[in-house]
């Protein structure tokens, strides 16, 4: 498939896990291409789980070939024909997939080969590795190397770390177990970008401090896609649009190669909610594709979240007023997703 043509926007990535309405009818993803002025670049269909025994793969709670997914797979092919890249999201909040891929070679092969076959069968353009359980650095490198070997250099591999994982090597700030800094050094050329979770207490997208600090640590601005919850019901950390717009325009202006945005998740995205979830993508297209006004790009220069120098201070170190002693910010231990996988059948 030819690459997506150049766009005035950065990446706009949609996570698509809740694929059905409460009445069981499909929650169609096609409006992102049938409505004007939407420039989504990637859709991550979620979530693929590797279960026991080897070969027992589910998309959320059902096998990928289940009749309930007939419309889903057909629509995703239409998206691909329209130039949007479709990736599968592996893992997520439901643990086990990466533990099984992190064992001895024979066990790895037993679980990996059916995953490889699924990617081929569904013609996925890549995999998003959402490692939310302990995994070794050697284990994730083995997986990345095997995917590149089997599918070639054009196959897209992304990861979905919590924002804190790109700000600190403290294991308490990381759901994945391995160091993303070490992974970037060793396999950065094989990784397309990081869908970075700035929500559920792991990051704050109401200011640019976190992004600025990641760049100061050596991560390329082009590889940081800022992730947000698209509705307060999808998790804590939702940022009102008037604040979010200011932050995104600042990032786009400050970093010409700004990586883009991702939204968790599609089905109830604001401002349209369930009735028009594609409106989030239209809004992101407008914010990232339009030319920022002079006021929007300069009005924050006196504030900490628009000052790269101040942004070089780790946002996970708090300063209380005039007190100069820094303390570690509290980090949440877990959170829940609300999606197809958690809805009653």
Dihedral pair phi/psi, residue 157, rounded to 5°: -120, 120
**Res. 71 pLDDT band, cuts 50 70 90:** very high
Dihedral pair phi/psi, residue 236, rounded to 5°: -75, 160
The token duo for 230 is 């698209």
Does residue 202 surpass a pLDDT of 80? yes
Please name which of 230, 276, 225 lies closest in space to residue 255, comparing C-alpha atoms: 225
- Give the 3-state secondary structure of residue 175: coil
Beta strands per DSSP E along the chain: 11-16, 42-51, 56-59, 85-91, 126-130, 156-159, 193-197, 224-229, 260-264, 317-318, 327-328
Task: Please give the Cα distance from 44 to 185 (Å, whole number).
Answer: 25
CATH architecture assigned to 11-342: Alpha-Beta Barrel (3.20)
Q: CB neighbours of 83 closer than 8 A, spacing ≥ 6? A: 2, 4, 5
**Res. 290 pLDDT band, cuts 50 70 90:** very low
- Answer whether 117's CB lies under 8 Å from 124's CB: no
pLDDT of the residue at 172: 81
pLDDT of the residue at 199: 96
pLDDT of the residue at 345: 36
Does residue 239 surpass a pLDDT of 70? yes
pLDDT of the residue at 170: 84
Task: Please give the Cα distance from 230 to 282 (Å, whole number).
Answer: 13
Neighbours of 140 (CB within 10 A): 23
Mean pLDDT of 112-119: 98
Instruction: Kindly report, residue by residue over 120-149, the tens digit of the pLDDT.
Output: 999 999 999 999 999 999 999 999 999 999
Integer angstrom CA distances of residue 304 from 35, 138, 166, 173: 37, 38, 20, 23
Cα dihedral 76, 80, 82, 85 sign: positive
Length of the chain: 345
Domain regions of the chain by residue span: 11-342
**Res. 325 pLDDT band, cuts 50 70 90:** very low
Please name which of 174, 95, 161, 162 lies closest in space to residue 133, comparing C-alpha atoms: 95
Does residue 192 surpass a pLDDT of 70? yes
pLDDT of the residue at 333: 43
Task: Please give the Cα distance from 345 to 343 (Å, whole number).
Answer: 6
**Res. 292 pLDDT band, cuts 50 70 90:** very low
pLDDT of the residue at 301: 29
**Res. 310 pLDDT band, cuts 50 70 90:** very low
């Amino acid at each position: 498939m030819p690459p997506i043509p150049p766009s005035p926007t950065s990446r706009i990535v949609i996570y698509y896990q809740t694929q059905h309405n409460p009445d069981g009818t499909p929650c169609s993803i096609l409006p992102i291409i049938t409505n004007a002025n939407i420039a989504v670049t990637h859709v991550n269909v979620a979530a693929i789980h590797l279960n026991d025994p080897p070969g027992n793969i589910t998309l959320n709670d059902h096998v990928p070939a289940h009749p309930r997914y007939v419309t889903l797979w057909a629509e995703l092919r239409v998206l691909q024909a329209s130039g949007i890249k479709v990736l599968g999201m592996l893992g997520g909040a439901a643990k086990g997939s990466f533990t099984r891929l992190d064992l001895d070679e024979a066990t790895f092969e037993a679980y990996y080969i059916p995953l490889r076959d699924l990617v081929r069968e569904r013609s996925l353009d890549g995999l998003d590795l959402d490692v939310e359980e302990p995994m070794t650095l050697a284990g994730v490198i083995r997986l990345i190397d095997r995917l590149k070997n089997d599918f070639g250099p054009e196959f897209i591999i992304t990861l979905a770390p919590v924002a804190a994982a790109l700000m600190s090597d403290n294991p308490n700030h990381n759901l994945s177990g391995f160091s993303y800094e070490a992974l970037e050094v060793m396999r950065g050329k094989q990784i397309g970008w990081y869908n970075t979770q700035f929500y559920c207490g792991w990051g704050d997208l109401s200011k640019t401090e976190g992004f600025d600090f990641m760049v100061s640590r050596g991560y390329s601005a082009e590889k940081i896609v800022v992730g947000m919850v698209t509705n307060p019901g999808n998790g804590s950390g939702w940022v009102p649009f008037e604040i979010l717009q200011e932050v995104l325009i600042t990032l786009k202006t400050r970093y010409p190669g700004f990586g883009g945005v991702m939204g968790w998740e599609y089905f109830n995205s604001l401002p349209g909610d369930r009735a028009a979830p594609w409106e989030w993508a239209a809004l992101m297209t407008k914010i990232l594709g339009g030319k920022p006004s002079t006021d929007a790009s300069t009005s924050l220069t006196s504030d900490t979240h628009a000052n790269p120098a101040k942004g070089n201070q780790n946002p996970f170190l708090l300063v209380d007023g005039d007190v100069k002693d820094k303390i570690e910010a509290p980090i949440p231990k877990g959170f829940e997703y609300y999606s197809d996988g958690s809805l009653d059948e």
